[in-house]
Structure 1
Amino acid sequence: MRDLDDIDRRILLALQRDGRLSNQDLADRVGLSPSPCLRRVRLLEEAGVIAGYRAVIDQEAVGLPITAFVRITLQTHEHHLVEEVERRLREVPEVVEAYLLAGDQDYLLKVTVASFASYEDFVRHRLRTIPTLASIQTTFAFGVTKTVSPLPVGSS
Structure 2
Amino acid sequence: MDEVDRAILTVLQKDGKISNADLAERVGLSPSPCLRRVRRLEDTGVIRGYQAIVDPTVVDRGLRVIAGVRLARHSRADVVAFERAIVQLPEVVFTHHVTGNFDYLLQVEVADLPAYEAFHANRLASLPGVATVNSYVTMKTLRTGSA
Taking structure 1 as the reference length, the TM-score comes to 0.90
Q: Distance in 2 between matches of 1:146 and 1:22?
A: 24
The alignment's C-alpha RMSD in Å is 1.0
Where in structure 2 are the equivalents of 1:1-156 lying within 5 Å?
A: 4-150=1-147
Q: Distance in 2 between matches of 1:19 and 1:147?
A: 14
Partner AA of 1:98 in structure 2: T
Shift of 1:22: 1.3
Partner AA of 1:38 in structure 2: L
Q: Secondary structure at the match of 1:91?
A: coil
Of 85-94 and 123-132, more deviation after overlay is shown by: 123-132
Q: Distance in 2 between matches of 1:114 and 1:66?
A: 6
Shift of 1:149: 3.9
Q: Which 5+ residue runs of structure 2 have no aligned equivalent?
A: none
Question: Which runs of at least 4 in structure 1 moved beyond 4 Å after TM superposition?
Answer: none
Question: When the two structures are aligned, how many residues end up with a matched partner?
Answer: 147
Percent identity among equivalent residues? 44
Taking structure 2 as the reference length, the TM-score comes to 0.95
